[in-house]
C-alpha cells in the first residue's frame, strides 16, 4: 500500500523529520538543488505541505502543487503563509495553537523582569569586574505596576494570569473587547502605552499589524516605560524603537523577535537597557515536541478523515 506523499518545505526538528519520513512518503524540498524544476516536474504528486514561519508558503508555491489540499504549519503564527491564496484554492491550513502558550508567556514575563531589574545587564556588570569598582545602579520595581497587553488572545491571557501573581494592574488593547475577561479594554494602543509602565506585545504578525507599535506608541510609553515584544518583529517600528532606546526616550525593552531575523540592529548590541533573545519564546523541548505531535496529528487527520485537528480560520480569498 502506497504512503501519502508530503512535501517538507524546510528543515524541522530532527525528531519530526524522522517521524515524517517513517509515517509518510515525505520529500525534503530544501534538499533540492533546483526546487522550481523539481516542483515543475513532481509538484502535482503532493497533496500536503509541511512548513514553518521561516519557509512559509506563497501563492507561487501553491500554484506549483496543483493537487495540494492541506498545509500544516509548525508554529502558531502563520503570517508567512498566503492564507488568502490558500482559501481561494480551497486548501486547508492548520497551525499549532495552545501547546506553546505557557512557554511564550513565561518568556514574556522573564523579559519584563529582566528589562526592569537589569538582570542580564547586572550579570555583565559582575563578569566585567565592575562590582569591584562600585554598586550596580538602582532599577525599577515590577510588582504592583501597570501592565498593558497588546493582544489578549490565548497567550496574552496566559501573560495576564502570570502578571496577576505580581499584583500588576492590567489593561489591554485589541480590535474589539474580549468576552469574559475582567480587564479594561483600551481601544487606542497609544492611550494604553501612555497609561502603562510595561507594554507587552503579543499580536499576530502579517500586513494588518505591521508597525502597529508605531513611533507614536513608542513615544507614548515615555522615559519610564518598557516595551516587551514576543510576537513578530514586523509588529514594531524597529527604527523608531532603536532611536527611542538609544536616546533613552523609553526606559528599556525586552525583545525576542526582530524585523530581519537573525540580523539584530547593530545599535542595540551595545545598550544595557535592552534584553535581546534569539526568538526562543517557544523553544523548550516539551513545547516543540507538542508542536511536532500536532503537525503529525493534523496530517493523519487530513488523510484519514479529510479534516484538520487545528484548522485556522479561512482567510477571505484575494
pTM check: above 0.85 = yes
User: Mean of the pLDDT values across residues 134-160?
Assistant: 97
Q: What is the pLDDT of residues 270-293, one digit of tens each?
A: 999 999 999 999 999 999 999 999
The catalytic position among 27, 232, 238, 259 is 232
In angstroms, rounded to a whole number, what is the distance separating the alpha carbons of residues 113 and 107? 10
Q: What percent of the chain has pLDDT over 90?
A: 97
Per-residue model confidence (pLDDT) at position 37: 96
On the CB side of 143, how many CA atoms lie within 13 Å of its CA? Answer: 2
Q: What is the mean pLDDT of residues 15-41?
A: 96
- Which of 226, 200, 213, 189 has the alpha carbon at shortest distance from 105? 200
Residue with cell 510609553: 221
Minimal CA–CA distance to 171: which of 155, 144, 152? 152
Nearest 10 degrees: CA dihedral of 186, 190, 195, 200? 80
Question: What is the per-residue pLDDT across 83-102, written as a single tens digit (0 to 9) for each?
Answer: 999 999 999 999 999 999 99
Find the helix packing angle between 101-117 and 154-164, rounded to 10°.
Answer: 50
Which residues 6+ apart lie within 8 Å of 98 measured at CB? Answer: 154
Coil, strand or helix at 192: helix
pLDDT at 315: 56
Between CA 191 and CA 187 the distance in angstroms is: 8
Please check the confidence at residue 6 and state whether its pLDDT lies above 80: yes
* 279 counts as catalytic: yes
Mean pLDDT of the chain: 96
Residue 86 vs residue 313, higher pLDDT: 86
pLDDT computed for residue 313 by the predictor: 80
Mean pLDDT on 35-55: 96
Which three three-digit cell numbers place residue 307? Answer: 479534516
Asked if the peptide bond before residue 258 counts as cis, ω within 30 degrees of 0, the response is: no
Given this model, what pLDDT does residue 277 score?
98
The answer, yes or no, to whether residue 317 has pLDDT greater than 70, is no
What is the sign, positive or negative, of the torsion defined by CA atoms of 294, 80, 20, 288? negative
Residue 124, helix vs strand vs coil: helix
Q: What stretch of H or E contains 253? A: strand 252-255
The reply to whether 219 belongs to the active site is no
Average pLDDT over residues 227-232: 97
- For 125, the grid coordinates are 556588570
Residue 22 annotated as catalytic: no
Marked catalytic residue, from 4, 5, 11, 279: 279
Catalytic residue among 162, 169, 261, 300: 261
Centre a 10 Å sphere on the Cβ of residue 186 and count the other Cβ atoms it contains. 21
Domains of the chain in sequence order: 5-97+286-305 (3.40.50.720), 101-276 (3.40.50.720)
Q: Are 214 and 235 in contact (CB under 8 A)?
A: no
Instruction: Work out whether the CA dihedral 11, 15, 18, 19 comes out positive or negative.
Output: negative
Amino acid at each position: 500500500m502506497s504512503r501519502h506523499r508530503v512535501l517538507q518545505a524546510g528543515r524541522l526538528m530532527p525528531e519530526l523529520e524522522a517521524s515524517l519520513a517513517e509515517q509518510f512518503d515525505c520529500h525534503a524540498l530544501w534538499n533540492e538543488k533546483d526546487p522550481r524544476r523539481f516542483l515543475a516536474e513532481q509538484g502535482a504528486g503532493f497533496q500536503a505541505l509541511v512548513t514553518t514561519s521561516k519557509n512559509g508558503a506563497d501563492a507561487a508555491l501553491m500554484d506549483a502543487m496543483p493537487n495540494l489540499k492541506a498545509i500544516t504549519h509548525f508554529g502558531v503564527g502563520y503570517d508567512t503563509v498566503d492564507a488568502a491564496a490558500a482559501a481561494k484554492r480551497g486548501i486547508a491550513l492548520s497551525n499549532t495553537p495552545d501547546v506553546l502558550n505557557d512557554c511564550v508567556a513565561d518568556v514574556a514575563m522573564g523579559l519584563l523582569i529582566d528589562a526592569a531589574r537589569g538582570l542580564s545587564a547586572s550579570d555583565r556588570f559582575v563578569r566585567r569586574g565592575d562590582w569591584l569598582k562600585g554598586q550596580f545602579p538602582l532599577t525599577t520595581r515590577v510588582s504592583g505596576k501597570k501592565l498593558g497587553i497588546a493582544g489578549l488572545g490565548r497567550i496574552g491571557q496566559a501573560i495576564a494570569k502570570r502578571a496577576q501573581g505580581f499584583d500588576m494592574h492590567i489593561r489591554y488593547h485589541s480590535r474589539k473587547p474580549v468576552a469574559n475577561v475582567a480587564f479594561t479594554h483600551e481601544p487606542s494602543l497609544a492611550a494604553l502605552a501612555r497609561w502603562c509602565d510595561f507594554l507587552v506585545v503579543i499580536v499576530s504578525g502579517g500586513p494588518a499589524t505591521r508597525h502597529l507599535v508605531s513611533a507614536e506608541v513608542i513615544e507614548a510609553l515615555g522615559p519610564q516605560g518598557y516595551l516587551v515584544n514576543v510576537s513578530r518583529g514586523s509588529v514594531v517600528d524597529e527604527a523608531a524603537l532603536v532611536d527611542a532606546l538609544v536616546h533613552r526616550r523609553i526606559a528599556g525593552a525586552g525583545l525576542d523577535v526582530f524585523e530581519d531575523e537573525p540580523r539584530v540592529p547593530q545599535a542595540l548590541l551595545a545598550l544595557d537597557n535592552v534584553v535581546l533573545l534569539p526568538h526562543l519564546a517557544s523553544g523548550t523541548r516539551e513545547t516543540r515536541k507538542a508542536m511536532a505531535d500536532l503537525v503529525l496529528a493534523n496530517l493523519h487527520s487530513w488523510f484519514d478523515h479529510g479534516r484538520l485537528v487545528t484548522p485556522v480560520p479561512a482567510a477571505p480569498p484575494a
